[in-house]
Amino acid sequence: MIEEAFRRTGVRRTPQRFFVMEHLLLRRDHATVEELCAAVNRDNAMTSRATVYNTLHALVEAGLVIEIMLDGKAARYDANLEKHHHFICDNCGSVEDVEWFDLPPEMEKKQFRAFEAILRGKCIRCQ
Amino acid sequence: MIEEAFRRTGVRRTPQRFFVMEHLLLRRDHATVEELCAAVNRDNAMTSRATVYNTLHALVEAGLVIEIMLDGKAARYDANLEKHHHFICDNCGSVEDVEWFDLPPEMEKKQFRAFEAILRGKCIRCQ
DNA sequence: GTCCCTGCAAACGGTTTGCACCCGG
DNA sequence: CCGGGTGCAAACCGTTTGCAGGGAC
């Protein structure tokens, strides 16, 4: 529940923040700022790009959303908080979640703070 | 040998291209365009930023260098053609090569075209 | 009532592009 | 000589910032 998550993490509840969070939860398609801005403005009240950036920073800070930076293109945002990796389609550039797997044992020893895998290929639609 | 690599891959040999390639081979520190531009201009003839970009595209195209895009910051370039992963220091942002490891067997089955791991932590200097 | 959020517009940093000139093959 | 590379400057695109006004708590 969004209200509850905001209260719990101390994120101030504004319509803009609510709509952004709602969109990320409903359509888990790794939206970019541009897409979120368009979606929120289509469905609801007016929201500036700057506010979408501000909102996303707040949500990332609060741990409600993760930021995915791939290939130097626009950042994408993901409300899936389970540990997972990412797949990028060579053809259409879409991003999909991939089930989590750990580092091999010999690497695990080295105590990295974080591990993230990026997998590439053609997605089902593009094959 | 640089001359030979250029001839083999059909990259036209200009002083600028030679110096960029030389720098990447000698100091394998994952240089950014900015750093390469500065280094080439310090040591040798004048070279514009646009030409460094052009050169790097040509070298990546020719398969003599790989491009590393991390965290939406400036691209970095690497003359290490062996398969490897990358480590980024949380503190200073430096990038290091990490020995290659494969996907776990259950993932290997899915036939991804490419796999790249990004590891994070503190580098030796920053610990 | 106090902060913090919002919208706007300008600034920013990395990269790309258009163009006239130049040089490698 | 020809095609492609070079330098310069302007354009581009995603993101950040400064600021005045407004809404959450």
d(CA B25, CA B98): 18
Q: Are residues A52 and A104 in the same domain?
A: no
Q: What is the pLDDT of residue A55?
A: 98
Query: In 3D, which of B20, B33, B104 has the Cα closest to residue B73?
Result: B33
Report the 10 Å Cβ neighbour count for A47: 21
d(CA A58, CA B120): 23
d(CA B78, CA B31): 7
How far the first Cα of chain A sits from its last, in Å, is: 37
Strand A114-121 relative to strand B114-121: parallel, antiparallel, unpaired?
antiparallel
Asked if pLDDT for residue A12 goes beyond 90, the answer is yes
In a domain, A102, yes or no: yes
> B118 vs A115: CB contact, 8 Å cut-off?
yes
Domain total of chain B: 2
In a domain, A89, yes or no: yes
Q: Where are the beta strands (DSSP E) in B1-127?
A: 66-68, 76-78, 84-89, 95-99, 114-121
In a domain, A57, yes or no: yes
Q: Are residues A44 and A98 in the same domain?
A: no
Q: Is residue A108 very low, low, confident or very high in pLDDT (cuts 50, 70, 90)?
A: very high
In a domain, A44, yes or no: yes
Q: A116 touching B, CB under 8 A? A: yes
Q: Which residues contact B81 (CB under 8 A, 6 or more apart)?
A: B63, B64, B66
Q: A31: helix, coil or strand?
A: coil
In a domain, B10, yes or no: yes
Q: B104 touching A, CB under 8 A? A: yes
Asked if pLDDT for residue A44 goes beyond 90, the answer is no
Question: pTM here?
Answer: 0.92
Name the average pLDDT for chain B.
95
pLDDT digit string (tens) for B51-87? 999 999 999 999 999 999 999 999 999 999 999 999 9
Q: Are residues B10 and B71 in the same domain?
A: yes
d(CA A39, CA A62): 22
CA of A13 to C1' of C1 (A): 19
Q: Are residues B72 and B90 in the same domain?
A: no
Out of A71, A87, A114, closest to residue B69 by CB: A71
In a domain, A97, yes or no: yes
Q: Are residues A72 and A88 in the same domain?
A: no
In a domain, A126, yes or no: no
Chain A interface mutation, best of B33, B89, B115, highest count of A Cβ atoms under 10 Å? B115
Taking residues A11-29, report their average pLDDT.
Answer: 96
d(CA B82, CA B98): 11
Q: A100 touching B, CB under 8 A? A: no
Q: Are residues B53 and B96 in the same domain?
A: no
Q: Are residues B12 and B61 in the same domain?
A: yes
Q: Are residues B7 and B69 in the same domain?
A: yes
Chain B environment of A120 (Cβ under 8 Å) = 112-116
Asked if pLDDT for residue A43 goes beyond 90, the answer is no
Domain with A96 in it: 84-121
Asked if pLDDT for residue B45 goes beyond 80, the answer is no
Taking residues B27-47, report their average pLDDT.
Answer: 92
In a domain, B42, yes or no: yes
Asked if pLDDT for residue A115 goes beyond 80, the answer is yes
Pick the more confident residue, A43 or A124.
A124
d(CA B61, CA B113): 18
| Nucleic strand C under 7 Å from the C-beta of A32 | no
Helix (H) or strand (E) holding A99: strand A95-99
Residue A1, min C-alpha distance to chain B (Å):
30
pLDDT digit string (tens) for A71-97? 999 999 999 999 999 999 999 999 999
Q: Are residues B71 and B102 in the same domain?
A: no
Percent of chain B with pLDDT over 90: 94
